[in-house]
Amino acid sequence: MIPRKYLEKLRQEMAGRLLEAGDPGYDQSLVIDNGRIDLRPGVVAMCVNPQDVATAYKFAIEHEMPFTVRGGGHSAAGYCLNQGGMVIDLTSMTAKRLDLGRQVVWCETGNRWRDLYLFLQATNTGLIPIGGGCPTVGIPGFMLGGGISFVSRSYGLSVDNLLSIDLVTPDGKLRTISAESKSKEDKDLWWACRGGGGGNFGIAVAFELRVHQPNTPTMLCGQIRYPIEYAQEVLGFYNEWIEKAPDSLAVYGYMGKVALPAHPDTLVNTVGLTPIFNGNSREGMDLIAPILKFPNIFINLYDMTLPDFEIFNGLLTVVAGNSAYIRSGFMAPKSFTPSCIDVLTGSMTTAPSSSSLLVWTHMGGKVTEVSKTDTAFWHRDARFLWEVKAIWPHANPDQSVENVNWAYKLGEGMAPHSIGAYCNYIDPLLHDWPQEFYGDNYAELCRIKESVDPDHHFRFQQAIGSPFNPDGAYPPNQAPLYRTFLV
Ligand SMILES: Cc1cc2nc3c(=O)[nH]c(=O)nc-3n(C[C@H](O)[C@H](O)[C@H](O)COP(=O)(O)OP(=O)(O)OC[C@H]3O[C@@H](n4cnc5c(N)ncnc54)[C@H](O)[C@@H]3O)c2cc1C
């Protein structure tokens, strides 16, 4: 328990607010995407500038108070929050500006992607960032883990478009790190912060991002849903066809229940494709014509700006306060084999909850043009990234065990078809997570961690260097889902 006089001193030193249980805004500050997370920190430091961040961080270290950093609050495991410690909350830090000449945006890390989309739309420049398909995802967590966008095949990962980071480093200093950094330590941090995952190497307070003029002002994008009975036919075709797609075309995927258009109360199992073409609609329609030929439930195609599509479509996968457990896996090219499709359809048609869904990201293109060791993001050669979300009502915690076990089992079934997992879909039940998330880059991440944060001030159960490793047995011990720190 921190004596009150010290908390009062911190309160006076901060320009922002220090919230405790019972204060207006405290409960609100704990609302994150995954409603399964029920963690109540001792204090929430609502920072309004980098000095507040450094002050709160130094206080936590001095008083040996465990802390976590909160950006957009979309951590699958809720690692932005913690029980009893301090949350360093950045959500009030939303300044941003565009340098039109350089096509660079500077933004503080309390921004979510939607904030940046709306900001850039208001400039009437047509410029787009390489951001999240979901508009409410925070920029910092997304960026620090790599960041895969609908247009990553055209422009690379989000981190490939990152120019600098203002970072409160584990020694409490505020530094700007970039490709121009001179010291060994700053160069190491620059490497590690591009794919090494949030919460590991410091607190990012601002980013400079390269923004792009897309090939055409609007893009062909939309959703196609086929009855699940056609999954082998549709995905068997997709598996081969997609290898010939130009970098300007990404076709994501979906499995889950949808309402029949004429009978909205009737939910049916579907497989879906989500094309996004960075180019004009006529050309895009020609390119995607082959996937329109299968019997479908609906085809909704649009010609709109990418940010409009991201804002309009992107809430498809939010948990929005319901309870969720997430597993993921990267896949090599041509991995949608008949046996893989059987695993997916078999699992998705027997999901205990009708809200659960599976999506996959289409990678390749410019993502592969950076080497696996140039940044901490290891899975450059993956073609797809699948993600299953078991989603059940927040009001029914008794359904947790069954739903978690279901998604876990799906993950086991997909193991032979997967080549690692995504640290941004962080999964506290994943056996051998360092290798799965970081591959051969993990040893270098550990070396950098020891060098810049020898006392492991930045720690949580899946932080770089943590000894935590679930045993991989089925059914899994679910206790790690309900904590941030290793006990
Ligand atoms: C609906 C949904 C859609 C998604 N879509 C995509 C997608 O299209 N592509 C993709 O690549 N990923 C996607 N993700 C994954 C997303 O990138 C991660 O969940 C990411 O960690 C979210 O970042 P955040 O800032 O919102 O989360 P937070 O929960 O705030 O933070 C995530 C982690 O980063 C740490 N952190 C937060 N801010 C900072 C900071 N400033 N400095 C240091 N550490 C920090 C936190 O402590 C936590 O450990 C999606 C997630 C969801 C829920």
Domains assigned to the chain: 4-89 (3.30.43.10), 219-425 (3.40.462.20)
- Ligand 1 atom nearest residue 157's Cα: 11
* Tokens encoding 202: 């410091």
CA distances, 157 to each of 148, 183, 295 (Å): 5, 25, 34
Indicate if ligand 1 lies below 6 Å from the C-beta of 459. Answer: no
Whole-prediction pTM value? Answer: 0.97
Indicate if ligand 1 lies below 6 Å from the C-beta of 203. Answer: yes
What is the pLDDT at residue 314?
83
Given its phi and psi angles, is residue 262 left (phi above 0), alpha (psi -120 to 50 degrees) or beta?
A: alpha
* Tokens encoding 469: 């490793």
CA 421, 397, 469, 81 dihedral sign is positive
- What does the alpha-carbon distance between residue 418 and residue 214 come to, in Å, rounded to a whole number? 32
Q: How far is the CA of 267 from the centre of ligand 1 (A)?
A: 30
CA distances, 137 to each of 314, 323, 363, 481 (Å): 10, 17, 19, 20
In this structure, the residue with its CA closest to atom 3 of ligand 1 is 134
Q: pLDDT digit of tens for each residue in the chain (487 aa)?
A: 899 999 999 999 999 999 999 999 999 999 999 999 999 999 999 999 999 999 999 999 999 999 999 999 999 999 999 999 999 999 999 999 999 999 999 999 999 999 999 999 999 999 999 999 999 999 999 999 999 999 999 999 999 999 999 999 999 999 999 999 999 999 999 999 999 999 999 999 999 999 999 999 999 999 999 999 999 999 999 999 999 999 999 999 999 999 999 999 999 999 999 999 999 999 999 999 999 999 999 999 999 999 999 999 988 888 988 999 999 999 999 999 999 999 999 999 999 999 999 999 999 999 999 999 999 999 999 999 999 999 999 999 999 999 999 999 999 999 999 999 999 999 999 999 999 999 999 999 999 999 999 999 999 999 999 999 999 999 999 999 999 999 7
Side chain identity at 347, as an amino acid letter?
A: S
Q: Which residues pair with 45 in a beta bridge?
A: 18, 88
Q: How far is the CA of 147 from the centre of ligand 1 (A)?
A: 9
Q: In this structure, are residues 140 and 72 in contact, taking their beta carbons and an 8 Å threshold? A: yes
- Ligand 1 atom nearest residue 203's Cα: 42
Indicate if ligand 1 lies below 6 Å from the C-beta of 274. Answer: no
- Ligand 1 atom nearest residue 147's Cα: 11
CA 342, 344, 345, 346 dihedral sign is positive
Indicate if ligand 1 lies below 6 Å from the C-beta of 110. Answer: no
Q: Residue 416, class by beta-carbon neighbours within 10 Å (0-12 exposed, 13-18 middle, 19+ buried)?
A: exposed
- What does the alpha-carbon distance between residue 289 and residue 484 come to, in Å, rounded to a whole number? 47
Side chain identity at 41, as an amino acid letter?
A: P
